Amino acid sequence: MVLENNGSVLGHAVTCASLALADAGIEMYDLVLGCSMRQDGNSFVVDPTYLEENHCGSTAQSNQGGLTVAFLPSLNQISGLQSDGEMTEETLTAGVRTCIEGCYKLYPVIQQALTKAVRNAAPPPPES
């Protein structure tokens, strides 16, 4: 259930679901991280807000669309790709690369949060 959508909801949901599975102790090959971008003419935005996702400020007829990538950083694999709108092959390829870079930037932060959660859940060591 999404309580509030301030944009990039699919990418965030992918990351949250992966974190929930890992936090529950479900063994996985890797964490799945999601990243979204919005293309509007010659400009693009990574992790767009709801308004940026749904507003076209450009009068360009091509290269307008959105892209969400689900990525496994340790395995360097794309597990999901969702695209909407009209983008050239070059724009789509550049968008996928940009989203992958975003996932790599997010990965250490997610690992740190997961490690902290595991440490907090572990029982304290016995006193000698």
In a domain, 92, yes or no: yes
Q: What percent of the chain has pLDDT over 70?
A: 89
pLDDT at residue 58, as a whole number: 55
Structural domain count, the chain: 1
In a domain, 122, yes or no: no
Host domain of residue 87: 9-116
Assign residue 35 the CATH number of its domain: 3.30.230.70
Taking the whole predicted model, whether its pTM rises above 0.85 is answered as no
In a domain, 1, yes or no: no
In a domain, 123, yes or no: no
In a domain, 43, yes or no: yes
In a domain, 63, yes or no: yes
Q: Are 70 and 78 in contact (CB under 8 A)?
A: yes
**pLDDT tens figures, 88-120:** 888 899 999 999 999 999 999 999 998 898 888
pLDDT tens digit at each of 128 positions of the chain: 666 677 778 898 999 999 999 988 899 999 999 999 998 877 788 878 777 777 655 555 667 888 999 999 999 999 999 998 888 888 899 999 999 999 999 999 999 998 898 888 777 777 76
